[in-house]
Structure 1
Amino acid sequence: MSAETELVRRGYDALSYRYRSDDADADADEYALLLEMLRSRLPARASVLDLGCGCGVPVARSLAAAGHEVTGVDISDVQIQRARRLVPNATFVRADAMTLDLPAAGFDAVICLYALIHMPLEQQPVLIERIATWLRPSGRLLITTGWEAWTGAEANWLGGTAPMWWSHADAATYQSWLRGAGLEVTSQEFVPEGDSGHALFWARKPAD
């Protein structure tokens, strides 16, 4: 595990509750439309991988409640402990996404919201390629990336005592990485945050 990844792990361990409360309704407006769109594109009892699942609220909990088989992965022990308590009808694994050993074509969808941008930049296209192998034909990827290229840290993140670290390329680079992994980019949106924002991509693995 790189020093930057360890910093991210410690940051979420320390600030898990500052980042998101146990209350599923706290982020309902922010995620409602996104989750509705995702659910409409999934088959019944879909197998879904949530990379960077955090405490499982609201994404994993919403999908599990809809009858889907959800596997959540996060690097933070505290986040995973909370997820197991908050979403008992899903499976959660504490792991670095880059070390995951998952079966090819094992998932109907992979969700990676605000997680890829916490990984070293050189690892990100590799992970996108691995995600493509985990998707079944016609499987969906929903992922947030950087909009503009930036790497840096913030001390006392969220007003707490722990720092946080990010690294991301620009949206055009992520689009090229997605296509290079054999995925069809079906939508790209700008999600504002502060003085800048993120790119939200919907991508699809072609059918056989």
Structure 2
Amino acid sequence: MGGYDERDLVRRGYDALSYHYRADDADDGGYAPWLADLHQRLPAPAAVLDLGCGCGVPAARFLADAGHQVTGVDISDVQVARARRLVPTATFLRADATRLDLPPASFDAVVCLYALIHMPLADQPKLIERIATWLRPGGWLLTTVGRDAWTGTDDNWLGGPATMWWSHADAATYRSWLHRAGLTVTVEDFVPEGTSGHTLFWARRPER
């Protein structure tokens, strides 16, 4: 499956499964402690980029409600339309995160939760390198990635009418990509999910 087809599968999947994945009134999905921690680390107000923002809940909404200037990016038209409705104080772009061109040193933090793993594996280290340039000195990346290497699909994800696709490396590979991008990993945690789980990284651009 070529790169375009992979991206299109994810886009069409979230267009179809947006409400299966998260309702308008969904809870924080376990993100609240991470987002509260991020808020405590940021200046007030901060500029925050939410890559793979989905419908804007919970990350963009939490951070916007905390007074930060949030820009969300998602590949799904349905997700972005919902985000604009649910978090009207934030700015949302319908775009492929791997093809974004943003000014250097323009964000105090980048959040990328359960989104990098929906992008073609070859594009992921390149995106991490670009994220590092978008961060201001001392800025934070909060991201969840794979624990074990895996690429595959689920034809009836969440019991819905569409296929979803993922591709991720193992935690050690992500750690090496973060280091190669010039970011300092300060926390690496395992986040269990079902019989497996994900890896949570906090990584920081050096102050100088």
Q: Which residue number corresponds to residue 135 of structure 2?
A: 135
Q: Which residue number corresponds to residue 188 of structure 1?
A: 188
Supply the distance in 1 between the matched residues of 2:15 and 2:29 (Cα, whole angstroms): 26
The Cα shift of 1:112 comes to 0.2
Q: Deviation digits for residues 39-66 of structure 1, max 9, x if unmatched? A: 1011001000000000001110111111
Supply the distance in 2 between the matched residues of 1:57 and 1:28 (Cα, whole angstroms): 7
Supply the distance in 2 between the matched residues of 1:54 and 1:189 (Cα, whole angstroms): 23
Q: In the alignment, residue 11 of structure 2 is paired with which amino acid? A: R
The Cα shift of 1:33 comes to 1.0
Matched, 1:4 2:6: yes
Supply the distance in 1 between the matched residues of 2:196 and 2:77 (Cα, whole angstroms): 30
Supply the distance in 1 between the matched residues of 2:31 and 2:77 (Cα, whole angstroms): 24
Supply the distance in 2 between the matched residues of 1:32 and 1:87 (Cα, whole angstroms): 16
Q: Which residue number corresponds to residue 201 of structure 1?
A: 201
Supply the distance in 2 between the matched residues of 1:95 and 1:183 (Cα, whole angstroms): 25
Supply the distance in 2 between the matched residues of 1:29 and 1:131 (Cα, whole angstroms): 24
Q: State the percentage of identical aligned residues.
A: 72
Does the Cα contact within 8 Å between 2:154 and 2:164 map onto a contact in 1? yes
Structure 2 residue corresponding to 1:20, chosen from 19, 22, 30: 22
Q: Pick closer, same or farther for the CA change 1:164–1:29 going to 2, 3 Å.
A: closer
The aligned runs of 1:1-208 (5 Å cut-off) are: 2-23=4-25, 26-28=26-28, 30-208=30-208
Q: Given the two structures, how large is their TM-score scaled by the length of structure 2?
A: 0.97
Aligned length: 206
Secondary structure of the residue aligned to 2:129 is helix
Q: Given the two structures, how large is their TM-score scaled by the length of structure 1?
A: 0.97
The Cα shift of 1:28 comes to 2.9
Secondary structure of the residue aligned to 1:30 is coil
Q: Deviation digits for residues 129-171 of structure 1, max 9, x if unmatched? A: 0000000000000001100000000001110110000000000
The Cα shift of 1:29 comes to 6.0
Unmatched tracts of structure 2, length 5 or more: none
Supply the distance in 1 between the matched residues of 2:8 and 2:27 (Cα, whole angstroms): 27
Q: In the alignment, residue 161 of structure 1 is paired with which amino acid? A: P
Unmatched tracts of structure 1, length 5 or more: none
Does the Cα contact within 8 Å between 2:84 and 2:90 map onto a contact in 1? yes
Secondary structure of the residue aligned to 2:165 is strand
Q: In the alignment, residue 201 of structure 2 is paired with which amino acid? A: F
Runs of 4+ in 1 over 4 A off after TM superposition: none
The Cα shift of 1:27 comes to 2.5
Supply the distance in 1 between the matched residues of 2:28 and 2:140 (Cα, whole angstroms): 22
